[in-house]
Chains A and B, each alone.
Chain A
Amino acid sequence: MKAFKMFAVLMLTVMIMAAPALAKDTIKIGAILAVTGPAAFLGAPEAKTLEMMVDEINKKGGIKGSKVELIIKDSGASPEKALSFAKQLIEEDKVFAIIGPSTSGETMKIKGVAEEAKTILMSCAAAEVIVNPVAKYVFKTPQMDKHAVIKIFQQMKEMKLTKAGVLSSNTGFGKAGKEQIEKLAPEHGIQIVANEVYDSKATDLTAEVTKVKAAGAEAIINWSIEPAQSIVIKNARQIGFKGQIFQSHGFGNIKYVEAAGEAAEGVIFPAGRLLIADVLPKNDPQKAVLVKYKKDYESKFKEEASTFGGHAYDAMIILTKAIEKAGKADKEAVRNAIEGLKGVVGTGGVFNFSAQDHNGLDINAFEMLTVKKGKFVPLATPSKKEGSPKKK
């Protein structure tokens, strides 16, 4: 009994001393990420990145003297779970801002909740609808799908290709890309000769690529984030398709190149510069940030850094900069500060926010890359590359 009393008194003392300190000095940031489940390849590196960054920020004394407390919730890519976590983070944990979710479906589900609670949401998902139309408290860090599509079309024009066969998977990512391709093709003079959607779990796509080839496509544009994107290029080469193959920014994971092996050679796709950080020219504004992130991440977690983890990195950097600029962790002041941020260098590009643009990235955030000897390299002088197609 005596021991218990002493313990109780001790606990009380600690609580009394700690409580005000906590309330005054920490900035609570929530994160809803798909750490496990079908989108784990997005959420897992994002969560690791945030943990790494928060550790570093706190070691340096926090943001403006306030320590950061990170609360990560694993949504498993389920929009319903994301929604209940969002409510929990806002109402119970009273977080200052939420980073994530990892996927577009989840983000759209909680957009309204964040907006209503006037809590800043820094989404790590790609879909354009997240920031268009603009919601006051909702931002996103990944590049726009439409910019990726325009980049590919510009490249096609340069290679004098006009007939595209479009393949996409039946996921949110595939659908969003397909819509942008259909919308933007006419104004870029691209003719879509075949347009096929396949199951994201497809194990062989020979019939689909045969159809595209038979339709007279000079180039294949494939839009997916699943292993199917490796299968597409492999099957296309197996049936003797000689034209150029384009992939989306979802191809930016060297595993897919390894899986497709020789068939991946010469594939062209738009991507953030993280994948080619080491070979970027010294005067590139992103070089320093990218090399540091890549080195820190890879030495800490012993795995290759991906552009996806980079989206979380950018979200955290933007929040940090905005809090520093606002001078205090006040939701309203920080929100206004984000809209005023210009020239913030992140892994995805250089962010220039405004009241109308809650993504802050332009088409230059993408670089055209190609695969050479199983590695990602920048596509140098595109018109004279060996990857250029032979016309029939």
Chain B
Amino acid sequence: MNIELLSQYLVAGITYGTIYAIVAIGFNIIYNATGIINFAQGEFVMLGGMIAVSLHSFMPLPAAILAAVLVAMIIGALIEIIFIRWLVSPSVLRMIIITIGISIFIREAALHVWGEAVRALPYFTGTEVTVISVGDVHISPQVLWVTGISALMVIILTFFFNYTLLGRQMRACSANRDAARLCGISAKNMVTLSFVLSAGIGALAGCVVSPITYVQYDSGTGLAIKGFTVAILGGLGNSTAAIAAGLILGILESFSVWVMPAAFKDVVSISILLLILFVRPSGIFGSVEASRLKEF
């Protein structure tokens, strides 16, 4: 094992990690507002990629991405209004099952709209074979795009949740819905907003990762599983931790290929998920005390 090979595995790990992390952030937003896991998050990612690819055929790339994010946000809002808003104090379990239903619904609808073909946005800079080389280590510029946009998203979200009224209202709803309502916060609107936000962020994630991973009607599921693992690993609700956890998982997976047959790559990530759930359900970076206060 020479240093070049080592670095190449590291770079591969960073690629996986940032993809997982950007998906995990979407999970965290809805969790922060509602305390539930939205299992349709992967489908938002898929929708973003698909819509952007369709729009890109008649508008420039930045416009297509922007429009795709907006469309996904509208879809997110509609889903919340149609399926969730009218429920009277739904239990966590019921909400989770509803989101699973929504994910299947979106997937099947996408199959009918776009068919089973594989699509991808063009690389934001360069082409499929463009690489930035440092010695014998190669990295695709798109990976830098994904990393950069993830970082930007985390900064904006941290600011939003900590320093804006709206963001703090959303957090209040998650912490204690009844108390928040007594303070005059419309909990229902906050939940809608969280779906809009996470759909938008999911869609943006779908756009930036699609040149690397491609997008297909059912590609949301695979991304959602990894994103979910990373969200748990980092501690639910904490987007900065999600990036760190994503990188840890990605690098572990990548090095697992070096020592084990590649077929065991997912065994590694799922084992980590199980281990964390048993040993430290609040996540690596989560607070044990805070998680005790939560319903889920």
Residues of A in contact with B (beta carbons under 8 Å apart): 36, 38, 40-41, 44, 170, 196-199, 201, 203-204, 206-208, 210-211, 214, 227, 230-231, 234, 237-240, 255-256, 259-263
Q: Determine if B13 is an interface residue (Cβ-Cβ < 8 Å).
A: yes
Contact A231 B214 (CB under 8 A): yes
- Are A207 and B258 touching (Cβ within 8 A)? yes
Contact yes or no, A238 B129, CB < 8 A = yes
Residue B182, interface by CB 8 Å:
no
The smallest C-beta distance from B165 to any residue of chain A, in angstroms, reads 38
Contacts of A230 in B (CB 8 A): 118, 214
Q: List 25 A-B contacts (CB under 8 A).
A: A36-B111, A40-B115, A44-B115, A196-B257, A196-B263, A197-B262, A201-B219, A207-B9, A207-B13, A207-B253, A207-B258, A208-B257, A210-B9, A210-B12, A211-B257, A211-B258, A227-B216, A230-B118, A231-B212, A239-B138, A240-B131, A259-B119, A259-B214, A261-B127, A261-B128
Cβ of A204: which chain B residues have Cβ within 8 Å of it?
Answer: 12, 15-16, 19, 212-213
Is B261 an interface residue, CB under 8 A from the partner?
A: yes
* Secondary structure of the B contact surface, majority rule: helix
Instruction: Report the bound CA distance from A240 to B255 in whole Å.
Output: 19
Q: Which 10 A-B pairs have the closest CB atoms?
A: A206-B12, A203-B213, A201-B222, A207-B257, A261-B128, A197-B263, A196-B262, A207-B254, A227-B118, A207-B12
Which A-chain residue is minimally distant from B14 (CB atoms)?
Answer: A206
Contact with A along B226-259 (1 / 0, CB 8 A): 0000000000000000000000000001110110
Closest to A211 in B: B257
Pair B5/A210 contact, Cβ less than 8 Å: yes
How far apart are the CA atoms of A151 and B258 in the complex, in Å? 31
Task: State whether A203 touches B127 (Cβ < 8 A).
Answer: no
Once the chains are docked, how many angstroms separate the CA of A204 from the CA of B222?
12
Chain B contacts for A197, CB-based, 8 A: 261-263
Contact B214–A238 (Cβ < 8 Å): no
Q: Mark B15-32, 1 if CB is under 8 A from A, else 0.
A: 110010000000000000
Inter-chain CA distance A256–B123, complex, in Å, is 16
Once bound together, how far apart are the Cα atoms of A189 and B212, in whole Å?
Answer: 35
Q: B140: which A residues are within 8 A, CB to CB? A: 238
Residues from chain B with Cβ under 8 Å of A207 in the complex: 9, 12-13, 16, 253-255, 257-258, 262, 265
Task: Determine whether the beta carbon of A227 is less than 8 Å from that of B214.
Answer: yes
A203 near B212 with CB under 8 A, answer: yes
Chain B neighbourhood of A199, CB < 8 A: 222, 263, 265-266
In the complex, chain B residues 1-48 whose Cβ is within 8 Å of any chain A Cβ: 5, 8-9, 11-13, 15-16, 19
